[in-house]
Amino acid sequence: MPRPIGLKSTEQARRIAKRKLPNSVYNFIEGGTEEGRTARANSEGFGEIGFRPRIAHDHHARDLRTTVLGRELAMPVITTPAGFIRVAHPAGELAVARAAEAAGIAVGISILASVPIEQITAAASDVWFQLYMIGGRKGSEIAIERAKRAGCRVLIVTADLADNTGGNDRRPVPPPPGRVDLRTALRYAPEMVRKPVWAVNFLRGGFQLIAPNAPGQDGAPMAIAEGSAALREYPPTWDDIAWVRSRWDGPLVVKGVTCGEDARRAADIGADAVSVSNHGGNGLDGGPATIRALPEVVEAVGDRIEVLLDGGVRRGGDVVKAVALGARAVLIGRPYIWALAAGGESGVTELLALYRRNIDATLRLLACPSVEALDPSVLRMPRCGCDCK
């Protein structure tokens, strides 16, 4: 049985992950394009928003359930898709899927996952598959049909990473998996020697660094490095997203929206939801923090489609803030990868339980009976700095 690690906060999970992982692997997870302004702003934006707590109210049990794209979730949290997270822990996406299923929430899976999507859908009942247009429409059609056959419920078209070649010059990251020669291996060997437990566990998982869900030209799975380069080769246009809509008959999410105009465009072509996202700060550095962009997007689409938020959510209170501002649910990324690195499936299970407890405690102190009852009246919004009232 997996051993509990006693997580008390996402920051604790981050510290454990940093201690366990080689520096280059940890920095790869941290990411952040160029100077990392947007990555930092995602978290800082939540700190600008306060609460309006209420006292002397009846504190009966709160209802954390919500419905997202026609399916009830135990709380408004979803694990966002992330590519090849086996670098954090050999159990990778399967551990996350099992933890999400046990928590009663949906799990997002990247097309660059290290596990076949059929194994994920066997472990979880609400799987959201992330589509990059690898191989253009021809390759995408293969991926879409496979996701249908596997039983994925939701398709996420990611449109916020047309290019992120700016990189982050402040922190070294590992070489592209699958492109490791002797010289590169020797360069990174000191890191691996200092983290022998990670190295042994990673090698036990196999050194075949492939993306089994990414369709190669010959029908064979792509190497991770090949897939990582290919996903930037065909960034989706609005015509492409409309084409995807015509071939996917389930719920469709357009991920990467940060302005009202794009949100309305997504609604016009038949998307069922948009995800307010800047790719965790790994796209345009200087783009808006997700929580700052959320109100504009919510106002733009009204009740036409659902709005999700992905980026900077570090605690249950952040979930409450996003939902109060109109998000149907949030997607979390780095926190669950830190927890995975810290303790495998147990770490992710504990992290999701921590989010649940924190959401519940926040609702109690706000005297709010349920997630569904949240609205902006529970918040204290930052002043805009102008003379408006």
**8 Å CB contact between 117 and 146:** yes
Strands 71-73 and 77-79, how do they pair? unpaired
**8 Å CB contact between 216 and 226:** yes
Residue 149 phi, psi (nearest 5)? -60, -35
Place of tokens 């090698």: 203
Structure-block tokens of residue 156: 């996420």
34 φ/ψ sector (left φ>0, alpha ψ -120 to 50, else beta): left
DSSP string, 181-223: -HHHHHHHHHHHHH-HHHHHHHHHT-S--EEEEEEPTTSSEEE
| Active site (annotated) includes residue 279 | yes
Length of the chain: 389
What does the H/E/C string look like for 277-323? ECHHHCCCCCCCCHHHHHHHHHHHHCCCCEEEEECCCCCHHHHHHHH
- Strand residue runs (E) in 252-332: 252-257, 273-277, 306-310, 329-332
Structure-block tokens of residue 198: 């990670």
Q: Of 57, 60, 89, 279, which one is the catalytic site residue?
A: 279
DSSP string, 31-95: --STT-HHHHHHHHHHHT-EE----S---PPPB--EEETTEEESSSEEEPP-TTGGGT-TTHHHH
Place of tokens 């990611």: 158
Query: 37-47 and 290-301 are packed helices; what angle lies between their axes, rounded to 10 degrees?
Result: 70
As a whole number of angstroms, the distance between CA 309 and CA 321 comes to 11
**8 Å CB contact between 320 and 378:** yes
Structure-block tokens of residue 379: 């918040």
| Residues assigned a catalytic role | 279
